[in-house]
Structure 1
Amino acid sequence: MDNLNLDQHISGQFNADLEELKTQLLEMGGVVQQQISDAVDAIEQADSELAEKVMVIEDDVDNREVSLDENCTTVLARRQPAASDLRMVLAVSKATRDLERMGDEAQKIAKMAIALNEEGQAPHGYVELRHIGDIVEKMVNSTLDAFARFDVDTAVKVARDDKAVDREYKSAMRELVTYMMEDPRSIGRVMNIIWALRSLERIGDHARNIAEHIVYLVKGLDVRHTSVKEMERQVKDA
């Protein structure tokens, strides 16, 4: 944490408490990252067993969220942190919620994988799913890396990548809607792909949220609801 210049504490235990919060967050992020990867693979490989694994892991993600929330509350109550220390606790708390919601979206993708196996594979949309899935998985990985290193530049890049995901998602939607209009018999199965793509787009949104938390943590800037260009400007001027 030295590279963030967090407040120096009389209590070494306080430093240990903050470091533990960070460690637990990154561990939770690793679980969610694998959950997302497995969910996309489950659709591509028509693997219901892998999809079921993703859904079971969601219980672990939920438990980690509850545990981290409790630990953040304990640190706030016992240490009454200020300045960068307080931002650290708040950033972990907010990022934890976003990770849990990513897990929820991964679970939804897994449900779509099972539905496709039961109803028959969709005739279109798998290329788009893999393409957007790859971008989103890299975003999540970069976000966790940025949090681990308090790297604002990487956090800003994640925000830029989210805009790319939005563009790819809209393009995929246009193609899939056109396909369903041409072949109405495919609507039910293609809709499962559409819902999976929608979940990936939301995971990208949550990755951007965490990137914004990192900017707040390191720079003390609230960049929510700002454009990427404005975020870059504020970070540069800070």
Structure 2
Amino acid sequence: MPDKHLSRRFDAELALVSTRLLEMGGLAESQIACVLDALKSFDLGLLEHVGDDEHRLNLMEIAIDDEVVNAIARWQPTASDLRLLMAASKCAANLERVGDEARKIAKRTRRVAMDAGAWNLNIAEIKASGDMASHMLGGALDAFARMDATAATQIVRDDETIDAEFRAFVVKVVKSMKEDPRTVQLGLDYLSIAKSIERIGDHATNIAESVVYAVRGTDIRHEHRKQRGQENAAN
């Protein structure tokens, strides 16, 4: 009976860590949705709480890490339970960085909105990659909630699409800046936004990789990057 009681307490702590992480993920998703909507509409009112939300994400990461450390010290878990706790800590770190990138996008969007030429530059690639990054983040969190390694693996593969959109946008913006020097500052702001979106996709990928590790005990962090490098070299 005592063993069952202790087991239930440990299971409750694991569930709490997962719940806190998904709450943090929900806040990060909301933050990304706000900054992307603001970028599309130049409605700066949508950016009002971005700074506060980023601070909340920082505090949530610290709280999750504390819970993970305490759980490991108290229960000394092995195998899958230990992998889950380690994955949760890594996921929390990536979500905190998603908040950092959202803040950067908000800062650049405020500057872009003040530029009279902002409406004249086609940012289709940024919009598309932003939607993909948001979808990937939501999918990675859903994969964590269900501990679905198959879904997580697909998200890892999807990261290349965002990278391709970023590269295409860089080429287009650099060409625009060369043709019209007046667009240089605007182009640099948009390039910064595009880079932040690409990084959000990277963080979603990292979360998905952590899910695969938690479920299968397989570290695929460098595996798909090596494969991608081989494919690029072949092309």
Q: TM-score, normalised by structure 2?
A: 0.90
4+ aligned runs moved over 4 Å, structure 1: 228-231
Distance 1:9 1:149, change over 3 A: farther
Which whole-Å deviations, capped at 9, do the CAs of 1:118-137 have from their partners, x for residues lacking one? 34452314322211111111
Give the partner amino acid of 1:212. E
Q: Equivalent residue for 1:210?
A: 207
Matched, 1:92 2:58: no
Q: Equivalent residue for 2:14?
A: 18
What aligned pairs does 1:1-238 form with structure 2 within 5 A after superposition? 10-122=6-118, 123-227=120-224
Cα deviation for residue 230 of structure 1 reads 6.1
Q: Separation in 1 of the partners of 2:117 and 2:65?
A: 40
Cα deviation for residue 48 of structure 1 reads 2.1
Which whole-Å deviations, capped at 9, do the CAs of 1:35-85 have from their partners, x for residues lacking one? 111111112211222223222211111111111111111101111111111
| 8 Å CA contact retained: 2:65, 2:89 | yes
Distance 1:135 1:217, change over 3 A: same
Q: Number of aligned residue pairs: give it.
A: 224
RMSD over aligned CA atoms reads 1.8
Q: TM-score, normalised by structure 1?
A: 0.89
% identity of equivalent residues: 40
Which whole-Å deviations, capped at 9, do the CAs of 1:144-195 have from their partners, x for residues lacking one? 1100111111111111110111111101111111111111101101211110
| 8 Å CA contact retained: 1:158, 1:208 | yes
In structure 2, the gaps of 5 or more residues are 229-235
Distance 1:195 1:125, change over 3 A: farther
Which whole-Å deviations, capped at 9, do the CAs of 1:10-35 have from their partners, x for residues lacking one? 52010000011011101100100111
| 8 Å CA contact retained: 2:170, 2:191 | yes
Which whole-Å deviations, capped at 9, do the CAs of 1:103-130 have from their partners, x for residues lacking one? 1001100001111123445231432221
| 8 Å CA contact retained: 2:17, 2:88 | yes
Cα deviation for residue 229 of structure 1 reads 8.9
Q: Separation in 1 of the partners of 2:124 and 2:193?
A: 13
| 8 Å CA contact retained: 1:160, 1:228 | no
Give the partner amino acid of 1:83. A
Cα deviation for residue 9 of structure 1 reads 8.0
